[in-house]
A and B are shown apart, each in its own frame.
Chain A
C-alpha cells in the first residue's frame, strides 16, 4: 500500500468510527433541544388538542415569565442555594484537601472513603438526610432532646428549609472540590514552601503567598463546575421539602418539573427550561474562557 493509500484508508476508518456516534448524539441531544425550543413557542397542554402546534402567539410564554412571581422567586431561590452551597463546598473542600495533603499510606487509603457522599446515588443521599431531618427517629433530635433544646422541624420550617437543603448538598458535593483541590495541591513542588520557610515565613504566610495563588484557578474552576451542576439539584428538594414550605425551596428546575408534570403546562415549562438552559450555557462558556486563560498563563 502507498503512503497516500494508507492515509485515505485511515481517514475512511475515522469517519466510519465517528459517524454513528454523531448521528446518535444528534438524535438524542440536538433534536430534543430543537423540539424543546419549538414547544416553548406554543401554549401546549396535554389535555388541550391542537395546542402543540398552535404558533399563533409564539412569544407569549416568554412574555409571561418576568411577571410570574413563582418564576422570579425560583431564580432567587436558585441563586441563594447555588451561591451558598458552592461557597461552602469550595471552602470545606479546600480545608479537607489541605488536611489530607500528606504523604502516607494510611491517608491514601482513607482518601477513597472521603469520596463516598459524592458517589452515592443522589436519591440515597436524599433518603439519608430525610432520616436525619425526621424528628421522631433522627439522632439530631435525640441529641436536642437530651440537651433539652427544642428543635423546629427543619425541612418544614420557613427559616430553615433552604438551609437544610444547603447542608445536605454541601455534604454530598464537598468531596468533589476536595478531590480537585487535592490534585492541584499535589502538583506544588515542596521546594517552594521550603524556600519560603528558609526565608522565615510562617505557616499562614506560606499558605497565603505560596499555596493559595497556586490553587486559585482550580478553586474557581471547581466552583464553576459545581455552580453548573447545582442547577440540577432535584432529588434532595423532591424528597426533603417538595419545594416547600410554600415556595421557599422551589428552584427553577423544580418549578419547571411541577409545571410540566404536575400542572400539565408543557409549553410554559419548556420556556422556563430554555431560559435555564441559556443560563447554564452562559456559565459553561465562561468556564471554557477561563480554562483557555489558565492555559495561556501556564
Chain B
C-alpha cells in the first residue's frame, strides 16, 4: 500500500473541489460581472450572461469624488504602515531577544489590544479628536490605524527574528560591533521578506477598515470603503457604479494577498497556529 492511499487526488475529488470553489466564489463573481454592465443590462430579466462589457461605470467613478477618497485610503494606509513598522520592528526584535520575565504577559497584552471590539476605541478617539480638531483628517486616521497595526507588526515579526541564530550576532558583538550596528547591518537584511509580508498585511488591515473611517471622517478625509456606501445613500441605486466601486476597493487587496499568500496564514490567524 503506498503512502497516500487515503489522500489521493482522484479525478472525482478534483472535480468536487473545482465545483465547490465556483459555488463559493459565485457571489464575488456576480459583483465583478455587474461592474462591467450598464444599468439597463443589470435590470434586464433574465440576466444576460454574455454581454459586451463596458468600462462606463469605472470611468464615471474616476471623474467623481470617489477618486479623492481612493487617494485618502492610499495615504492613510501607507503612512500608518510605515509608522507601525518604524516602531514595531525594533520592538519585535527586542521581545525576541529578551529572555526576561514578563515577556509572555507583554505578548498577551499586545494580542488583547487586537481582540478588543473597535467601538471600545472609537468613542474615546472620537471625543479626543473632536477636542483637538483631528476629526476628518488623514492624520487622525493614520494614528488610529497605527494603533491597531503596531501590535500586528510586533506579533508577526517576532517569529522571523526568532529564526536568526543568536550566535551569529554574538560573533559580531565579540568582534566589537555595537548592538545597533548588528541589528541594522546583520539582522534586518535577513528578515526583509518578513518585513515585506508584514507591511502588506498592515496596509490591508488599514485599507479594509470601515468602522473608524465611518465615524472619524466626514468629507475631507473620507476613505474609499465609506465612499462606496455613500453611493447607496446619495446617488440613488446606481448598481453598476456601486459594483465598480466595490471592485476598485477590493483590487489592491486581491493583488497583495496573492503576493503574500505564504505569510497570509500567520498574519490572518495572528498567532493562533504555530508555524
Query: In the complex the two chains form, is A266's CB within 8 Å of B127's CB?
Result: yes
Query: Do B154 and A121 touch across chains, with their CB atoms under 8 A apart?
Result: no
In the complex, which residues of chain B have a beta carbon less than 8 angstroms from the beta carbon of A276? 117, 119-120
Q: Which of A5-13, A59-67, A150-158 contacts B (4 or more CB under 8 A)?
A: A5-13
A25 to B3, CA, bound (A): 50
The answer for the CA separation of A288 and B232 in the assembled complex, in Å, is: 42
Closest Cβ of chain B to A251, distance in Å, is 10
Contact with B along A251-281 (1 / 0, CB 8 A): 0010011001100001001100110110011
Known: A142-B46, A284-B115. A107 touches B6 (CB 8 A): no
The B-contacting residues of A in range 198-230, CB under 8 angstroms, are 198, 203, 206, 218, 221-222, 225, 228-229
Interface flags for B246-274 (1: CB within 8 Å of A; 0: not) read: 10011001100110010011001100110
Does any Cβ of B come within 8 Å of A76's Cβ? no
Chain A residues with CB below 8 A from B27, complex form: 128-129, 131-132, 171
Residues of B within 8 A of A33 (CB): 116, 120, 124
B8 touches A190 (CB 8 A): no
Known: A131-B239, A225-B269. A100 touches B17 (CB 8 A): yes
Q: Which residues of A contact B28 (CB under 8 A)?
A: 116-117, 120, 128
**CB within 8 Å for A21 and B115 given contacts A106-B9, A179-B265:** no
Given known contacts A96-B20, A184-B273, A121 and B250 CB-to-CB distance under 8 angstroms: yes
- The stretch from B50-58, B64-72, B89-97, B191-199 touching chain A is B89-97
Partner of A121, one of B6, B115, B249: B249
Report the bound CA distance from A239 to B265 in whole Å. Answer: 28
Q: Summarize A's interface: helix, strand, loop or mixed.
A: helix
Of chain B, the residue at the smallest CB distance from A143 is B46
Q: Tell which of A17, A121, A280 touches B207, judged by Cβ atoms closer than 8 Å.
A: A121
A103 on the B face (CB < 8 A): yes
Does A91 make an interface contact (CB < 8 A)?
no
Q: Is the Cβ of A273 less than 8 Å from the Cβ of B46?
A: no
CB distance from B106 to the nearest CB of A (A): 8
A163 at interface, CB cutoff 8 A: no
CB neighbours (8 Å) of B243 from chain A are: 127, 131
Query: Contact at A239–B229, with CB atoms within 8 Å?
Result: yes
Quick check: A14 and B94 within 8 Å, CB to CB?
Answer: yes
Residues of B contacting A253 in the complex (Cβ-Cβ under 8 angstroms)? 117, 119
Chain B 187-212 against A: per-residue CB contact (8 Å), 1 yes, 0 no?
00000000000000000100110110
Q: How far is the CA of A281 from the CA of B116 in the complex (A)?
A: 8
> Considering the complex, which residues of chain B in the window 57-96 have a beta carbon less than 8 Å from any beta carbon of chain A?
87-88, 90-91, 93-95
> Is A21 a contact partner of B154 (Cβ separation < 8 A)?
yes
What per-residue 1/0 map shows which CB atoms of A86-118 lie under 8 Å from chain B?
A: 000000000010011111101100101111111
Partner of A122, one of B30, B117, B208, B273: B208
B119 engages A9 (CB within 8 Å): no
Q: Are A10 and B173 in contact (CB under 8 A)?
A: yes
Which of B13, B257, B275 makes the CB contact (< 8 A) with A119? B257
Please give the distance in Å from A202's CB to the nearest CB on chain B. 11
Measured in the bound complex, the distance between the Cα atoms of B268 and A225 in whole Å is: 11
Q: With contacts A10-B179, A17-B94, A39-B123 known, is A120 near B250, CB below 8 A?
A: yes
* B residues lining the A interface (CB < 8 Å): 1, 3-9, 13-14, 16-18, 20-21, 24-25, 27-28, 30-31, 34, 42-43, 45-47, 87-88, 90-91, 93-95, 97-98, 108, 110-113, 115-128, 143-144, 146-147, 150-151, 154, 173-174, 176, 178-180, 183, 204, 207-208, 210-211, 214-215, 225-226, 228-229, 232, 239, 242-243, 245-246, 249-250, 253-254, 257-258, 261, 264-265, 268-269, 272-273, 275
* 5 further A-B pairs in the complex, CB-CB below 8 A; given A116-B28, A225-B269: A17-B90, A28-B143, A29-B121, A124-B249, A139-B30
The 10 closest A-B pairs by CB, nearest first: A28-B147, A17-B90, A32-B124, A21-B91, A104-B9, A13-B179, A17-B94, A18-B94, A121-B208, A123-B225
22 contacts between A and B (CB under 8 A): A9-B179, A20-B87, A28-B150, A29-B147, A36-B123, A102-B8, A102-B13, A113-B21, A121-B208, A123-B249, A127-B242, A127-B243, A128-B31, A131-B30, A131-B34, A136-B43, A139-B47, A180-B269, A183-B275, A197-B6, A266-B123, A288-B108
